[in-house]
């Protein structure tokens, strides 16, 4: 049986529980537990702080884990990044006070930079030949310049609202992060097979994001025009109707082009168009 480490609370915990549920796996969302058994898949769920998850997976305490890429890069543990999961998006950026006339990355030469991610920042400065003083802070990094602890900060940015509130301006994005599935690289063959099954479920969910199932009635003579409009995943599905002059056309479309395609279909005579949510795509 696999053991998966997930964040014990917060938004990443909620999104992870939701992903598992979409994959037919029921797990407790309670952060008061240390470990529980999931239903719908042979899986133990281990609830940890996000910064403990990479080490737990590297040590074999957990076989796999779901955590932000930023934590994986910061902890530099011996784990494999198995797949990106499409949620928990954020970026780690350098930010300076609004009053600073920022000419470029060389501005950080000799400056003090406060961060909760000293490993990522030191690596970035080293790669760019910048000699700066990295000051590690565990708490509210964004207040460091205002109280004189640092000249600038390196921190997680989502909307940027916190920076604005503290008189800071984002200048350089170092990494883009999101939730990832990580695994112990020394896993045995049996558990590897179970991980592949779990990843298959996750991929089917991710591939269905933003997709809609569309069906409509269409004059049979208009099928070639409709096929040109709707290539679909391979090609549209056609089903006969009682009225031989009409067919029912079914296709999967991305929501980005959905309404444009519907307008084109209506213009060639499509009627009774239904748009349905798509839960999973199995390839």
Write the CATH number for 104: 3.40.190.10
**113 and 244 belong to one structural domain:** no
pLDDT attached to residue 143: 93
**64 and 197 belong to one structural domain:** yes
pLDDT attached to residue 195: 97
pLDDT attached to residue 3: 97
**79 and 104 belong to one structural domain:** no
Which of the four pLDDT bands, split at 50, 70 and 90, describes residue 270?
very high
**75 and 193 belong to one structural domain:** yes
pLDDT attached to residue 57: 98
pLDDT attached to residue 31: 64
74 within some domain: yes
Is residue 257 over pLDDT 60?
yes
Which of the four pLDDT bands, split at 50, 70 and 90, describes residue 278?
confident
**139 and 242 belong to one structural domain:** no
The stretch 221-229 carries a mean pLDDT of 90
171 within some domain: yes
Are the C-beta atoms of 44 and 35 separated by less than 8 Å?
yes
**119 and 101 belong to one structural domain:** yes
CATH number of the domain encompassing residue 232: 3.30.70.120
283 within some domain: no
**246 and 186 belong to one structural domain:** no
Are the C-beta atoms of 113 and 134 separated by less than 8 Å?
yes
Higher pLDDT, residue 279 or 25: 25
Q: Give the model confidence (pLDDT) of 112-145 as tens digits.
A: 999 999 999 999 999 999 999 999 998 889 999 9
Q: pTM here?
A: 0.84
**72 and 138 belong to one structural domain:** no
- In Å, what is the CA distance from 203 to each residue of 86, 100, 223, 280? 10, 45, 32, 9
59 within some domain: yes
pLDDT attached to residue 70: 97
233 is in which domain, residue-wise?
Answer: 210-277
The stretch 165-169 carries a mean pLDDT of 94
- Structure tokens that stand for 5 in this block: 């480490």
**193 and 218 belong to one structural domain:** no
97 within some domain: yes
**184 and 197 belong to one structural domain:** yes
- Number of domains composing the chain: 3
282 within some domain: no
Share the mean pLDDT of the chain.
Answer: 93
245 within some domain: yes
Q: What percent of the chain has pLDDT over 90?
A: 81
Higher pLDDT, residue 82 or 230: 82
Are the C-beta atoms of 120 and 156 separated by less than 8 Å?
no
The stretch 49-74 carries a mean pLDDT of 97
Which of the four pLDDT bands, split at 50, 70 and 90, describes residue 247?
very high
The stretch 86-113 carries a mean pLDDT of 96
32 within some domain: yes
The stretch 153-175 carries a mean pLDDT of 92
What angle do helix axes 189-208 and 11-22 make, rounded to 10 degrees?
100
Residue 276's Cβ-count burial label (10 Å; 0-12, 13-18, 19+) is exposed
**73 and 111 belong to one structural domain:** no
CB atoms within 10 A of CB 7: 27
**160 and 123 belong to one structural domain:** yes
């Amino acid at each position: 049986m696999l053991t998966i480490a997930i964040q014990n609370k917060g938004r990443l915990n909620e999104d992870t529980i939701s992903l598992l549920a979409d994959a037919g796996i029921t797990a407790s969302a309670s952060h008061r537990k240390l470990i529980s058994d999931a239903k719908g898949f042979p899986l133990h769920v281990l609830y940890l702080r996000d910064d403990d998850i990479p080490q737990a997976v590297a040590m074999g305490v957990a076989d796999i884990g779901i955590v932000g890429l930023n934590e994986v890069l910061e902890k530099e543990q011996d784990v494999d990044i198995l797949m990106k999961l499409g949620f928990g998006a954020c970026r780690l950026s350098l930010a300076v006070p609004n009053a600073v006339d920022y000419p470029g990355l060389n501005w950080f030469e000799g400056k003090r930079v406060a961060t909760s991610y000293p490993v990522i920042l030191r690596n970035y400065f080293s790669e760019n030949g910048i000699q700066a003083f990295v000051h590690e802070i565990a708490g509210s990094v964004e207040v460091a310049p205002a109280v004189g602890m640092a000249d600038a900060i390196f921190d997680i940015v989502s909307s940027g609202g916190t920076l604005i509130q503290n008189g800071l301006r984002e200048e350089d994005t170092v990494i883009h992060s999101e939730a990832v599935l990580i695994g112990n690289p020394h896993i045995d063959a049996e558990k590897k097979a179970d991980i592949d099954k779990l990843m298959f479920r996750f991929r089917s969910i991710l591939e269905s994001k933003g997709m809609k199932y569309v069906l409509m009635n269409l004059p049979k003579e208009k099928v070639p025009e409709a096929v040109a409009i709707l290539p679909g995943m391979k090609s549209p599905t056609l089903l006969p109707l009682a009225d031989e002059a009409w067919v029912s056309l079914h296709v999967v479309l991305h929501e980005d082009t959905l309404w444009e395609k519907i307008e084109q279909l209506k213009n060639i005579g499509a009627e009774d168009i239904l748009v349905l949510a798509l839960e999973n795509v199995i390839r």
